[in-house]
Amino acid sequence: MSTKNKVLTIIEGRPENQKISEDLKAAAEKRGWGFRQIKFINSDKLARFDLDDLPLDYVIFRNLTGNNYAEAERLLYYLKKRGSIIMNGEPVGARAATSDKHFQQGLFLLDDFLKDYALPTYEAKNKANVMSYIDGKRVSFPIVLKYRFGTTGKNITLVKNEAELDKIKDFSNLLIEQYIEPECDWRVFVIGGKSVGIMRKTGDENHPEDFIAWSAGRHKFIEEDPETIKILNKIAIRAAEVSGLDYTGVDIIKDAKTQKFYILETNFAAGWMNFIPVTKINIPDFIIDWFEEQIRSSQKQ
């Protein structure tokens, strides 16, 4: 594979993530790379592997808008066959499962270290199913209902009792998650098996009962406590490794009552729109570093 005229290609089609592509373009061009964004791939071209007209030597695999998960897997297969260097090209359980919050917690439970940080999570399906987990003391009110593929804290509902549960009309793709009263939570970026930065998030201290403020992370800071950083790094690095991700934002929460840490999720396509202004850590630069290190390693072989 020639390393001349390097072009970094991001596979990302969601409009809300356009700023991520723009940041990566700026970082790549600053280092002398070209840049290409691919929002979707024609499924007939993909079926024939007729993709030689696309710059696919160096790829960040995030999301194929307009293509189904089978096509995403087929693209990953093609990229590996052609010898591309792919960031997040080996996700455990494939693209669909790794983004699935229920699948993630199952992965964490299978790991001897992470099982202590796995959050009790179950499929909702319907009210009767939710109540069966409560009656069986797997979870207890209040609980959180969230979409298994949800992003940016959207569509998360705090359910305090059965009367509030009755208000939920559609349980499709919802998960039951045990509510954790948060002391605070964090976003830890892991790239190439190393933690490159941590942002701490809190809710509205004047209205601690405001669940939406907590879910969104109303206030954001740099984490500075050495002991907390040490614990978070250990959890996040292992979570990224177990998930098979070269690049991820790991979300971790701390229970205000028990002081226990829980992994909320590993983000396959983690964004940094809030992270960079708060921490001053430029994630795109670390991503370019990762690709250049992969190139150096391949040249030594």
Q: In angstroms, rounded to a whole number, what is the distance separating the alpha carbons of residues 165 and 168?
A: 6
Degrees, nearest 5: CA angle 118-158-208: 95
pLDDT tens, residue by residue, 160-218:
999 999 999 999 989 999 999 888 899 999 999 999 999 999 887 766 666 665 666 77
pLDDT of residue 194: 98
pLDDT band at 148 (very low <50, low <70, confident <90, very high): confident
Task: Mean pLDDT check: name the lowest of 16-30, 82-96, 216-230, 238-252.
Answer: 82-96
**DSSP bridge partners of 158:** 144
Q: In this predicted model, which residue has the larger pLDDT, 219 or 24?
A: 24
**Residues contacting 64, CB < 8 A, separation 6+:** 11, 13, 40, 41, 71, 72, 75
Q: Is the pLDDT of residue 149 over 90?
A: no
Q: Is the pLDDT of residue 1 over 60?
A: no
pLDDT of residue 282: 97
Q: Is the pLDDT of residue 153 over 60?
A: no
Q: Which residues of 233-256 are buried (b: 16+ CB within 10 A; e: fewer)?
A: bebbbbbbbbbbbbbbbbbbbbee
Residue ranges of E strands in 124-246: 143-147, 157-159, 174-178, 182-191, 194-202, 219-222
Domains of the chain, CATH where assigned:
7-87+283-300 (3.40.50.20), 108-117+180-270 (3.30.470.20), 120-179 (3.30.1490.20)
Sign, CA dihedral 290-291-292-295, equals: positive
pLDDT band at 2 (very low <50, low <70, confident <90, very high): very low
pLDDT of residue 100: 86
Instruction: State the average pLDDT over residues 133-154.
Output: 85
Instruction: State the average pLDDT over residues 278-294.
Output: 97
Q: In this predicted model, which residue has the larger pLDDT, 59 or 150?
A: 59
Q: Is the pLDDT of residue 71 over 80?
A: yes
Q: Percent of the chain scored above 70 by pLDDT?
A: 91
Paired tokens of 174: 């919802």
Side-chain-side CA neighbours of 141 within 13 Å: the count stands at 11
Check: CB of residue 242 under 8 Å from CB of residue 115.
Answer: no
pLDDT of residue 3: 46
Q: Is the pLDDT of residue 139 over 80?
A: yes
